[in-house]
Structure 1
Amino acid sequence: MILRFAGISSNKNGDSPRFINKKIRDLIGSKKTLLFKKVMINKPTLIALACTPFLSFAEVEYQLKIDQGAHHLGDVSITFPKSAQSHLDIQLPDWRTGRYEILNLANGVRLFNAEDQNGNVLEWNKVDKNTWRVHFDEPTEVNIDYQVYANELGLRARHIDDSHAFIDASGFFMFSDSFRQEPVSVELEVPKEWRSVSGMAFGDNKHSFVAKNYDILLDSPIETGINELRKFEVDGRQYELVIWGEGNYDVALMLRDLKKLVKTGSLIWDDYPYQRYVFMVHATSGARGATEHLNSTIIQRHRDSFAKRDDYVAFISTAAHEFIHTWNVKNYRPEGLVPYDYTDINYSNLLWLAEGSTSYLEDYLLLSAGITTNKEYFKGLTRTINRHLNTPGREIQSAAQTSFDKWINQGGDHGKNYSTNIYSEGALVSMALDIDLLVKSDGKVSYKDVHRELYKQHKLPNSFTSADVKAILKQLSGRDYSQWWAKHVDGPLNLDFDALLAQVGLEHVRPSSAKTVASMGATAKNRGEVLVLNHVAREGAAWAAGLTSGDKIVAVNKHHVRKSLNATLQRFSAGEKVEVEFIRRDKLMSTTLTLSLDHSKPKLVQPILTPSIMQAKLYKAWMGVAHPYQTTN
């Protein structure tokens, strides 16, 4: 049993919480009572005891020692409070928050050992792949030690090298359900030149942190190492930007735009759920992606992908996405994800709202803040729509279905042909719903109001269902959205983008310079002297001819195809039949197919040159800025 003092680093006599905890542990662990046990706690310590805002008689203590960084190894020690059970089940999560995929993180654990509070070895056995059961005959603290191999930077779960460590608790720190809600402390033993940063509060030194429970620890990663740190304040809240790795980034530009970004939360929600927020950035040579956490985010980009404007917009858009998650997911999230089950799949048919709506809203914040332009928004929306239209799986899998199946959905050729994804599909559902609300309310009600109400009505520890969202829609609009929901959410999304976008003063048109071209309905990558098909569109020309991804295209009409499939097909017309020779299973084969019609350039989203007063009004209500061609009258 441990007594923990939140917010105390040390007193005048240097008694830290860890020092005090040891004394209290000695006291409570004794068979004698407080009255008869003489424990030397000085007067300032007793004053600290009396003034401490929260006291807990159970704490889980974590320690991580890193002295073999080059080999990606870390040594973990955990002290669990005294338990009166006959055994303690200790588990490592099977996935991490923000990534809906089973990761099998226990595969990095070795050298597991368990001891009682007196240093006696305890017996243990594995119950399943990520559960260790420790046995004991009498109540005792349980001390656990094990080694973790951490070389999975791209998973954003754990990484150690000679310059830093990224510590997501899911990849390092085991837990017991018996103590999941108890306070925790983390102590790092790292090279002296390293700096440690986290969304958690500091403990009693610059490499220690404290949290109210394991759930907060699990959603508060630590970046420790050789890094660049900048701090700033906006509207009384504290922010930090920590960057690991060299790159072509402009820190001053990042700080300028992050300051603008964090002010925009009030455009959607009534308050901020944090007083301190940390932006963590990895400038790397390989890892890509980002993950949201309670009051922090980790963003990974190639070290040379910051300077060009398109690259920078991608970075700041990611920052906006993760920032929005501070509300959407971290403070209100769908049923099935509350509370998190760290050892199993957490099913929900609303991940499209959790992720796709976040992708959709990021553009509103960036435009409203003046960080991006209308032109940049149209470019991104064009990309999202065309990706959707070029995904045959959109005709099969709905937003609700892809949400539920996120944990098992495949990527690659089959995934593109038969599945969708929660990000782009969810963004387009959100856009369609937003425009519908705006049009039918004369610009008075928007999808942003839906998220404001979700935050008000279903804040954690509550959750929400599809019925709850539909109830909010009816509350705001006075209309029943059940049929709309059945068509656009529960059924495959089939939008008329021309009609949809016209309502807010935009058009979806093919450039006049676009030409009609012949197509096989497939794409290929150059692999030296041959082209290898990497996508064959379902029901397309190549599909109908029996070609599949992985086939090596050798020749079309007896002419060797070397560098580009599209270049080869330029001399043919749609409707022509051609012979295609290819290699499959090391055997030369051939087939005949009829080329289909395609275009040299995709459709673009662009503003209507002469929008009506209503179109301009709805555009302003939609995106928070004036229509590019809005007139003054």
Structure 2
Amino acid sequence: MKPVVPFILTFSALACTNAFADVDYSIDLTSPEHHLAKVQVTFPETTADSLLVNLPVWRTGKYQVLPLADAVRSFTATDESGKVLPWSRTASGEWTVALTEPASVTVNYQLYANKLGQRVNHIDASHAFLDASGTFVYSPEFRNEPINVSLKVPSSWKSYSGMDSGSKAHSFTAANYDILVDSPIETGVSKHREFSADGRQYELVVWGEGNYDIDQMVTDLTKLSGQAEVIWDDYPFERYVYMVHATSGARGATEHLNSTIIQRPRFSYRERADYLGFIKTASHEFIHTWNVKAYRPDGLVPYNYQDEEITELLWIAEGSTSYFQSQLLLRAGVMTAKEFFEDLAKRVAQSQKTPGREIQSIASASANQWASSGGDYAVNHSTNIYSEGYLTSLALDFSLIEATDLKGSYRDVHRKLYNEHRLPAGFTIADVKAILADVSGKSYESWWQQYVNSPVSLDFDAMLAQAGLELTHGKDAKVEAFTGVTLKSGSLVLSHVLRNGPAWNAGIVLADEIVAINGLKVTADGFASRINDFKPGDSIKVTLFSNDKLKDVELKLGEKQSGKLAIKAVKKPSRAQKAFFKAWLGVDWPFDKDGQFKSVK
């Protein structure tokens, strides 16, 4: 890989009246038991008649407005002489401090930090996780100024961040607020490892007890971190920190400029399936260091922390990241080919069970992400930017490989996005189309209209055949009766009713509660077995409570294939199919002459 090409993400909403004056932050975490901290921020001198102070209303990586400022109490403002300055609350994440003469302003407030699962902040007796979006206020006037952050912590704590360390223990520096807000801090009692890959330095910080093997994590993260050259020519960082929370209840992850925070249940590491969940998440967030943090859609540039930012390209930011995550692990030898195709088959099966893909385009889903709330309506009428964005990326990759006679791929698109549209500029739809034309030698206008701007159901059989693969439910699969409903866990209340499915067409709706089938009581545990007593096409009488009223509904059963969807090799794959496979995934044909996955030593 080429040497790092550094960039500093700097944006300023207003011209600063005191250029290059530092903004100083300090946070007192010495009494952390009740999730409380004391925060102090000193802004440089301003000549304006007021100082605007903001706390973001959303955090990067989560495209949803959040009530972050609700955690702030006891807000005060003083000048450099200690004089109390009047202030007023002017928006949900905004305070306006009045000034009668030039002054520097010091703001103090109490912070309640108990948003662990949202990866905003969390303080307890063992640690503090601090994402600046929910922790540190800023002023638009000084957004572009250098930052100093100091932490006052219990004596046994150690502090880590992707930011540069300051001159004192538990302190950090950043070139501006945009770097601070994208460089979370983990401080407390934790496990720490350092390693290197491809000339870059990495750290792994794990807070919490669990059944993880930290040495195995380091081994696999080292392999993963060395795979970036498969897509990009250089790195946007010199040092990167993997932060992991092994805890209870919280799960998920968020990408940052020079680090990531990954949360997993503390006992979800030992079993292979669980560990794969962790390492795939790590790969996803690592890829985000380029895709989103180094280049991103122009609708997200610059970050406007006080308002929504709408773009039709979120599927590239998120779905394409999901698409590449397992490929890097496969190339690194961290994931087997069998595991890779099990993951892909699961995604295809989920798409086929989501009627919303027939209603909403991936472009519309991207633009609607800020208003997305999930649930039954989303399944039936919406497209998910992560899962369907993955599959759209797959279709685009296959199209490019075919169009270039195996010489180009979707990796080239992302390499060009990074090389040609790196921040502080963002990329547009026209930019992506131009790159697609450059890579393929042809226009992708009609492809974009069909697969991005329109709802689409992909022909997976035809696509996979190009790579010598096919979908199967197994040789023992059979046709079974199908209702088109999903039950809430442990109950007979319906959590989903698939649009245009048998139950939907019979007038059964969300939250109905099934009582009996053909006059006989049914239980939650026995519902699936009871349905299997019938054949596709049979009509059954379903007794249920709907809006607290008991009623009978005649339901004509549909059909589905039994068994889990899988991907296998076609019989007698051709050289062309194997070559396409290699161009796609970068690994050798993993099947033996009988079409079975070769054993992994």
TM-score normalised to structure 2 length: 0.94
Match of 1:168 in 2: 131
Q: Does 1:334 align with 2:297?
A: yes
Q: Does 1:405 align with 2:361?
A: no
2: CA distance, partners of 1:366 / 1:591:
49
SS in 2 for 1:318: helix
Q: Does 1:614 align with 2:600?
A: no
Partner residue of 2:377 out of 414, 428, 448? 414
2: CA distance, partners of 1:548 / 1:443:
48
Deviates more, 1:421-430 or 1:606-615: 606-615
1: CA distance, partners of 2:129 / 2:526:
41
Match of 1:244 in 2: 207
Q: Does 1:624 align with 2:586?
A: yes
Match of 2:9 in 1: none
Q: How far did 1:236 drift?
A: 2.6
Q: How far did 1:64 drift?
A: 0.9
SS in 2 for 1:280: strand
Deviations 1:160-190 (A, max 9, x none): 1111111000001111110000001111111
The within-5 A match list for 1:41-440 is 57-440=20-403
2: CA distance, partners of 1:627 / 1:391:
31
Match of 1:554 in 2: 515
Deviates more, 1:602-611 or 1:124-133: 602-611
Match of 1:22 in 2: none
1: CA distance, partners of 2:149 / 2:206:
22
2: CA distance, partners of 1:155 / 1:590:
43
Q: How far did 1:525 drift?
A: 2.6
Contact 1:505 1:608 in 2 (8 A): yes
SS in 1 for 2:291: coil
- Percent identical residues: 52
Match of 2:544 in 1: 582
2: CA distance, partners of 1:234 / 1:508:
37
Structure 2 portions without partners, runs of 5+ = 1-17, 594-601
Deviates more, 1:64-73 or 1:206-215: 64-73
Contact 1:386 1:603 in 2 (8 A): yes
1: CA distance, partners of 2:473 / 2:193:
45
Question: Using a 3 Å threshold, how does the CA distance of structure 1 residues 164 and 470 change in structure 2: closer, same or farther?
Answer: same
1: CA distance, partners of 2:587 / 2:46:
59
SS in 1 for 2:551: strand
Q: How far did 1:319 drift?
A: 0.7
Question: Using a 3 Å threshold, how does the CA distance of structure 1 residues 208 and 401 change in structure 2: closer, same or farther?
Answer: same
Question: Using a 3 Å threshold, how does the CA distance of structure 1 residues 290 and 526 change in structure 2: closer, same or farther?
Answer: closer
CA-based RMSD of the aligned residues comes to: 1.3
Match of 1:20 in 2: none
Partner residue of 1:522 out of 463, 474, 485? 485
Partner residue of 1:599 out of 543, 548, 561? 561
Q: How far did 1:336 drift?
A: 0.7
Give the ranges of 4+ consecutive aligned residues of structure 1 lying more than 4 Å apart after TM superposition. none
1: CA distance, partners of 2:456 / 2:548:
40
Q: How far did 1:235 drift?
A: 2.9
Deviations 1:521-574 (A, max 9, x none): 1011344xx511111001111112222221111111111111232111111111
| Equivalent AA in structure 2 for residue 595 of structure 1 | L
Contact 2:20 2:146 in 1 (8 A): no
2: CA distance, partners of 1:117 / 1:505:
72
| Equivalent AA in structure 2 for residue 574 of structure 1 | P
Q: Does 1:539 align with 2:506?
A: no
SS in 1 for 2:580: helix
Q: Does 1:498 align with 2:482?
A: no
SS in 2 for 1:397: coil
| Equivalent AA in structure 2 for residue 561 of structure 1 | V
Match of 2:424 in 1: 461
Deviations 1:237-269 (A, max 9, x none): 211000000111111111111111111111111
Contact 1:92 1:174 in 2 (8 A): yes
Q: How far did 1:65 drift?
A: 0.8
Q: How far did 1:435 drift?
A: 0.8
2: CA distance, partners of 1:262 / 1:449:
19
Contact 2:473 2:562 in 1 (8 A): no
SS in 2 for 1:68: coil
Q: How far did 1:428 drift?
A: 0.6
| Equivalent AA in structure 1 for residue 577 of structure 2 | Q
Structure 1 portions without partners, runs of 5+ = 1-54
SS in 2 for 1:69: coil
Contact 1:56 1:183 in 2 (8 A): no
2: CA distance, partners of 1:274 / 1:165:
25
1: CA distance, partners of 2:447 / 2:338:
30
Q: How far did 1:273 drift?
A: 1.1
TM-score normalised to structure 1 length: 0.89
Deviates more, 1:220-229 or 1:436-445: 436-445
SS in 2 for 1:155: coil
For the pair shown, the structure with the greater C-alpha radius of gyration is 1
| Equivalent AA in structure 1 for residue 49 of structure 2 | S
Contact 1:519 1:566 in 2 (8 A): no
SS in 2 for 1:271: coil
Match of 1:11 in 2: none
Match of 1:29 in 2: none
2: CA distance, partners of 1:342 / 1:526:
38
Contact 1:607 1:628 in 2 (8 A): no
2: CA distance, partners of 1:175 / 1:290:
24
1: CA distance, partners of 2:526 / 2:63:
36
Question: Using a 3 Å threshold, how does the CA distance of structure 1 residues 630 and 459 change in structure 2: closer, same or farther?
Answer: farther
Q: How far did 1:609 drift?
A: 4.1
Match of 2:598 in 1: none
1: CA distance, partners of 2:198 / 2:19:
33
Match of 1:28 in 2: none
Match of 2:596 in 1: none
Match of 1:42 in 2: none
2: CA distance, partners of 1:235 / 1:147:
43
2: CA distance, partners of 1:547 / 1:116:
65
1: CA distance, partners of 2:570 / 2:274:
27
Contact 1:524 1:565 in 2 (8 A): no
Match of 1:48 in 2: none
Structure having greater relative contact order (Cα 8 Å, sep ≥ 6): 2
| Equivalent AA in structure 2 for residue 139 of structure 1 | P
2: CA distance, partners of 1:534 / 1:326:
36
Match of 1:35 in 2: none
2: CA distance, partners of 1:245 / 1:271:
34
SS in 2 for 1:487: helix
Q: How far did 1:330 drift?
A: 0.5
| Equivalent AA in structure 1 for residue 554 of structure 2 | T
Contact 1:282 1:300 in 2 (8 A): yes
2: CA distance, partners of 1:471 / 1:149:
48
Q: How far did 1:416 drift?
A: 0.7
